[in-house]
Structure 1
Amino acid sequence: MNYQIITQSAQLDAVCHNAREADVVMLDTEFVRTRTYYPQLGLIQLFDGQNLSLIDPTIIEDMTSFVELLKDTSVLKVLHACGEDLEVFHNSFGCLPYPMVDTQIMAAFLGHGLSTGFAALVENYLGVELDKSESRTDWLARPLTEKQLEYAAADVFYLQPLYEQLFEKITQAGWWEAAQQESDLIAAKRIKVVNPEMAYLDVKGAWQLKPSELAILKPLATWRLKEALRRDLALNFVFKENDLLTVARYGIENRHQMEQEGMDYRSVQRHSARIISIVKSAKQTPVDEYPHKIERLMDMTGYKQKFKILKDEVKRASQTSGLATEFLASKKQLNQFISWVWKKDRDPAKLPDVMQSWRLELFGEKLNKLL
């Protein structure tokens, strides 16, 4: 495996120029995400079939030529299990690689489990056993060891022959277009527009609270998300989710009670005054302005029966197509569909996954008639 380490803009320009001459390139990223809200990009791996480059975005000041490669519609970008990579690209460069296909998705269309790892597929198709001992590396640390660099390089070096084999098989099976559609869907779902005012709906356990308690949770969750974004901190490093729920449930207005409830001492020390202020203000919310109680799908009348009917139809589609049921429609995707019918009145602007692209033709229309 020959690779070059790219640390200067001029080197990057040359590498990306060559890559844009290719029809297909392999891409991967290494990043760190322990305490931060956003993933921190440590390394980019790029292989165009000739040149394998390890790009160091921590020291290259001008990444324009790489961004242009990401956006070049004449070059297909191949990634594996690309979800977090897409988030990294979007946060770092404000764009996504397009067009793009995910080899994990391609493998799923060929009967592999939906979350089959790269090493397992490489061993299966190429007979090569990859060393994954460096997967916990701090990719922001410098210098990176030779072993770490080789680990990173292998992720794109073996991706090319794997992609070629998968492409041949998936084309023969007739699923290539569907794999591209599914990769596009993953990309679209990965990029969320954050609305701080609705952050309380993402707090696990919020459905247990009464409207009066939700009136307290809502501004608390908004404050926590804004603080996380401002400081680039993971939400729970600002204030733990369970502690937020406890404050809202009991309407806690003093620091001593927070400490008695066993809340994180440093978070209480730093934020108790702000939280108390928010709680006191929220308690003045007029009753007619309380958020509605959060109604879970599973608690709605007839949910279990309807879910079973839909699940049975997905099983039938699985038997006829040869694709795994969880790949066709996960529990989350079926719930998304039920919610679309029951809560969103089949809004055409908010189509659920099963009512789009390849799923629609395969079984989506049948599900729509069943509900």
Structure 2
Amino acid sequence: MNYTIIKDSHTLQKVCEKARQTDVIMLDTEFVRTRTFHPKLGLIQLYDGEQLVLIDPLEIDDMHSFADLLADTSVMKILHACGEDLEVFQHVFGCVPTPMVDTQLMAAFLGYGLSTGFAALVNDYLGIELDKSESRTDWLARPLTDKQLDYAAADVYYLLPLYQKLLVQVEETGWLEAAQQESKLLVEKRLKTVKPEKAYLAVKGAWTLNPQQLAILKIMAKWRLEEAKQRDLALNFILKEANMIEICRQQMTSLQQMSDAGFDHREIRRHGNRVISMVKQGLETPESEWPEKITRLMDNPVYKQLFKTLKDVVKHASETSGLASEFLASKKQINQFITWVWKHERNPEKLPDVMQGWRKEVVGNALNGKMQ
């Protein structure tokens, strides 16, 4: 496994121009995401069957040639479990690999669980055991060790033969178009941005608040999201979710209340007065502008039995198709379907996952039949 480390834009351009002459390339990234809102890119791995390169984005000041490769629709990009990689590409380069197929999704169409790791597939298909000891390393530190570099290179070097074997099987079973659909859906979901005005709906425990308390939370969650993006800090490093709920529930208007509730003194010192002003703003919001009380599906008396019925439909479809139940329709996707029927009255403009693409025929129509 011979690889080259790329540290300048001129060499990168030559590598990317050559890669654009091929039909398919393997891609992976190494990044760090602990305290930040956005993942921090540390390394990019690329393999086109001839060139195996490790691209150092910390050293290269002009990455336009790589962005052009990502956007080149004549070159298929292959990645594995690429959800966070897509976020990295979008944040750093303003684009994502197009077109793209995820080998984890390809494996799911062959009966593997949706979270099957790269090392497990390489072991099954190629009979090679990968050393994954460097998976939690600091990819922003320099210099990178030989062990780190070998680990990173292996992730794309073995991805090519794995992809080739999966491709044959997926084509034989007739699932290739579905795998492409699912990869496209993954891109759409991963790049979906939360509107600041809707951020309060994602706060854990928001359903416990009444409409007036939600008016406060709506203001606070919008501010927290914008602050996190601006300062590139993880949301809970701005203001913890549990504290937000408590602030809204008690409608706190003093620093002492926050202190009495056991909030971190640094959090109080940094944002306390700003939080108080948002609470007051929320309390002054006219009742006509209060958000609706959040109702959970599970609070509906018929939900529990309905979910069980739909779960049985998914299980039957799983046995018939050979696809894992969690892949056909996860709990979240079943709930999305129920919401579509109950709240959106089957609005064709808000189709749930199970009523789109390959899932509709395999399981969606049967689910819909149970809700007539």
TM bracket (short chain): over 0.9
Match of 2:58, SS? Answer: coil
- Alignment of 1:263 with 2:263, yes or no, is yes
Match of 1:137, SS? Answer: coil
Match of 1:128, SS? Answer: coil
Match of 1:370 in 2: 370
Match of 1:43, SS? Answer: strand
Deviations 1:245-281 (A, max 9, x none): 1101001111122111111221111000100111112
Match of 1:25, SS? Answer: strand
The root-mean-square deviation of aligned C-alpha atoms, in Å, is: 1.1
- Distance in 1, Cα, partners of 2:257 & 2:209: 19
Q: Give 4+ residue runs of structure 1 displaced > 3 Å after superposition.
A: none
Query: Structure 2: which amino acid aligns with 1:103?
Result: T
- Distance in 1, Cα, partners of 2:292 & 2:189: 26
Match of 2:325 in 1: 325
Q: Number of aligned pairs? A: 371
Match of 1:15 in 2: 15
Alignment of 1:180-191 (within 5 A): 180-191=180-191
- Alignment of 1:138 with 2:113, yes or no, is no
- Distance in 2, Cα, partners of 1:143 & 1:153: 16
Query: Structure 1: which amino acid aligns with 2:175?
Result: W
Query: Structure 2: which amino acid aligns with 1:332?
Result: K
**Residue 32 of structure 1, CA deviation:** 0.7
Instruction: Give unpaired runs (5+ residues) of structure 2.
Output: none
Query: Structure 1: which amino acid aligns with 2:226?
Result: K
- Distance in 1, Cα, partners of 2:97 & 2:252: 46
Deviations 1:168-188 (A, max 9, x none): 111111111111111111111
**Residue 52 of structure 1, CA deviation:** 0.5
**Residue 366 of structure 1, CA deviation:** 2.1
Match of 2:218 in 1: 218
**TM-score scaled by structure 2?**
0.98
- Distance in 1, Cα, partners of 2:203 & 2:73: 38
**Residue 240 of structure 1, CA deviation:** 0.6
Query: Structure 2: which amino acid aligns with 1:247?
Result: I
- Distance in 1, Cα, partners of 2:61 & 2:349: 40
Match of 2:46, SS? Answer: strand
- Alignment of 1:66 with 2:66, yes or no, is yes
- Distance in 1, Cα, partners of 2:202 & 2:363: 30
Match of 1:30, SS? Answer: strand
Alignment of 1:284-295 (within 5 A): 284-295=284-295
Match of 1:54 in 2: 54
Query: Structure 1: which amino acid aligns with 2:9?
Result: S
Instruction: Give unpaired runs (5+ residues) of structure 1.
Output: none
Deviations 1:41-65 (A, max 9, x none): 1110000000101011122121111
- Distance in 2, Cα, partners of 1:346 & 1:366: 15
Alignment of 1:291-330 (within 5 A): 291-330=291-330
Contact 2:212 2:282 in 1 (8 A): no
Query: Structure 2: which amino acid aligns with 1:12?
Result: L
Moved more, 255-264 or 321-330: 255-264
Deviations 1:51-96 (A, max 9, x none): 1010111221211111111111111111000100011111111111
Alignment of 1:75-90 (within 5 A): 75-90=75-90
Alignment of 1:1-371 (within 5 A): 1-371=1-371
Contact 2:46 2:156 in 1 (8 A): yes
**Residue 124 of structure 1, CA deviation:** 1.2
**Residue 216 of structure 1, CA deviation:** 1.3
**Residue 2 of structure 1, CA deviation:** 0.6
Query: Structure 2: which amino acid aligns with 1:71?
Result: A
Paired-residue identity, %: 64
Match of 2:97, SS? Answer: coil
- Distance in 2, Cα, partners of 1:340 & 1:369: 14
**Residue 288 of structure 1, CA deviation:** 2.3
Query: Structure 2: which amino acid aligns with 1:131?
Result: D
**Residue 142 of structure 1, CA deviation:** 1.2
**Residue 347 of structure 1, CA deviation:** 2.1
**Residue 300 of structure 1, CA deviation:** 2.1
- Distance in 2, Cα, partners of 1:184 & 1:301: 36
